[in-house]
Structures are given as structure tokens and as C-alpha cells.
């Protein structure tokens, strides 16, 4: 909601700026379009933006060739997991000492070789599952909307004939970087962690590797750049350990547990109403576990 008000305010400012003598009218008009588009992006728009951002990033980094040992290792780990539902994943490795990984809305997943050096195969599978989770849970949609809003602001600056405008004209690079370095909320990170854990279980991999992966990352120290865009790995590891020991539920598990209690309450106390609701909402009688 806050972003909507900011974008509307920006559109108003753009209209005002268009009357200024030193304003580039075309760029100012483009800025207004971006501000509106941030609120109205279609799934097709999302896929196209993600594809372009991934291509931009691949050109900027050293992408491992298929015969590279890192690429061969990653291919071995994900060979049977190229698709989930309608999403087809495109995996790749950046040759860089950086400890990081990211995903794009179109299923592009990139892992840095520095992270691969740090983790064993099972731990790396969890990281891959985690990044898949960000895609499948559509966390990146909001990031693209925000990136477009930022792009609108930068174009507004560029519409003024100034040094700041010259800098702001490299627009897509900034948008792509904001997607690659996007910071997810704690809730989103938990959902992606849960997906990663389910990913390991579904493929009959060792689930404990999820915990050890986060524990290893935690040893990097809080001053590491990884911590600027991710919640505390130690706490995330503890949370997943509690799930493995049956002491807590995943976010989806808690949601289904709450729904189950509501259904039971209605069925036991208001059976007639519950029967009517089932006619309107058939899935009330289904077991909708993750």
C-alpha cells in the first residue's frame, strides 16, 4: 500500500517536472509509465524482466561453461530437478569467490563457486531448494515491482539535464542489480527454507543437510556481506532442527493446522452451516498438506 502512494506521488511530480525547462520529456514520460507499470505487471511482464535481468547478469559475471568442474557438479546435483509444476529451472555457476546464490522469477538460479567450495553436495542441494522456493512462492514478484518503482524514480532524475541524470541513465543495470541483491523478509526466507527442506525430503535426500548448510554459512561472521541480505542463519538452522525433531511445524504446516481446527470447530458446532460451506468451497473436505 505504501508503494502505491509513493508511485502515485511520483507520477504527480513527473507531471509537474514535465513543465520545467531542463526536463527531458521522453524520459519523464517513461518514468511515469514505469511507476504505473510497477502496480500492473502481468506474469508475462515478470518473465520477460527476469529473463533480461538474468541475461544482463550472465554477461557481467563469468558463467561456468558446461565442461567446467563446478558446472558438472551442479548439473549432477540438479539433473532430475529441472522442473516443478509449470516452472522450468535454469541452473548455472558464477566463477567467483563470493558466497551467494540467487533466483529470478523465470526460474533462473545462479550459484557462486565460492558457496560451492564451502558446502558439500547435500548442503548445496538445500541451497538450491531454498532458491527454488523463492521462485515457487512468487517472492520475487514484489521485488520486481519495487525494482520498477526504483527505476521510475531514477528515470525521473535522468529527466533533468544534470550529472545525476547522466548516472541515472544506466537504468536496466540498476534494476537487474536490485533484483540480484534483493533482500527478502524473514517470513519469505522461512518459507523458502521450508520449501528447501521439503525439496530434500521429496527427493529422498538427507534433510539434516539443511541445518548443517545454514550452520556453515553462520560461521562466516556477521560482518560478511551475506548477512546484509539474509536473516541470521543460526536462527534459521535452529528453526529447521526443531521441525526435524517434531518440536515445531513449518509455516505451511501451521496454516493447515489452523485451517483444520477451524473446519473441526464448524463441523462439530455448526454442522448445517459447514455442509453449506462445503457445497460452495469443496476443498474444505480435502487434506491440503504441502
Q: Which residues are catalytic?
A: 131
Residue 179: CB atoms within 10 A of its CB come to: 23
**DSSP of 23-51:** B-HHHHHHHHHHHHHHHH--HHHHHHHHH
Contact in structure between 244 and 208 (CB atoms under 8 Å):
yes
Q: How large is the C-alpha radius of gyration of the chain?
A: 23
Q: Report the alpha-carbon distance of residue 155 to residue 26 in Å, rounded.
A: 10
Q: Is 206 exposed, middle or buried (0-12, 13-18, 19+ CB in 10 A)?
A: middle
Burial of 154-177, coded b for 16+ CB within 10 Å and e otherwise, reads bbbbbbbeeeebeebeebeebbbe
Terminal CA-CA length for the chain: 29
Q: Is 107 left (phi over 0), alpha (psi -120 to 50) or beta?
A: left
Amino acid at each position: 500500500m505504501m508503494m502505491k502512494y509513493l508511485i502515485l506521488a511520483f507520477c504527480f511530480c513527473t507531471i509537474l517536472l514535465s513543465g520545467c525547462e531542463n526536463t527531458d520529456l521522453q524520459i519523464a514520460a517513461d518514468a511515469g509509465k514505469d511507476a504505473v507499470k510497477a502496480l500492473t505487471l502481468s506474469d508475462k511482464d515478470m518473465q520477460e524482466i527476469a529473463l533480461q535481468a538474468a541475461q544482463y547478469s550472465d554477461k557481467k559475471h563469468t558463467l561456468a561453461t558446461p565442461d567446467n568442474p563446478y558446472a558438472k557438479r551442479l548439473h549432477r546435483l540438479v539433473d532430475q530437478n529441472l522442473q516443478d509444476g509449470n516452472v522450468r529451472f535454469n541452473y548455472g555457476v558464477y566463477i567467483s569467490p563470493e558466497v551467494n546464490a540467487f533466483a529470478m522469477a523465470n526460474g533462473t538460479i545462479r550459484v557462486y563457486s565460492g558457496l560451492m567450495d564451502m558446502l558439500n553436495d547435500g548442503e548445496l542441494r538445500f541451497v538450491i531448494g531454498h532458491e527454488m522456493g523463492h521462485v515457487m512462492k512468487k517472492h520475487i514478484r514484489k521485488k520486481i515491482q519495487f525494482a520498477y518503482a526504483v527505476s521510475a524514480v531514477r528515470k525521473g532524475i535522468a529527466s533533468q539535464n544534470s550529472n545525476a541524470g547522466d548516472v541515472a541513465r544506466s537504468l536496466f543495470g540498476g534494476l537487474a542489480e536490485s533484483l540480484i541483491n534483493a533482500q527478502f523478509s524473514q517470513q519469505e526466507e522461512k518459507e523458502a527454507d521450508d520449501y528447501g527442506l521439503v525439496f530434500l525430503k521429496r527427493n529422498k535426500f538427507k534433510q539434516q543437510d539443511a541445518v548443517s548448510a545454514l550452520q556453515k554459512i553462520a560461521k562466516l561472521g556477521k560482518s560478511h556481506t551475506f548477512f546484509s541480505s539474509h536473516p541470521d542463519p543460526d536462527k534459521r538452522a535452529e528453526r529447521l532442527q526443531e521441525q526435524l525433531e517434531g518440536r515445531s511445524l513449518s509455516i505451511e504446516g501451521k496454516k493447515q493446522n489452523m485451517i483444520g481446527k477451524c473446519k473441526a470447530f464448524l463441523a462439530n458446532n455448526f454442522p448445517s452451516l459447514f455442509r453449506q460451506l462445503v457445497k460452495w468451497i469443496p476443498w474444505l473436505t480435502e487434506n491440503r498438506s504441502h
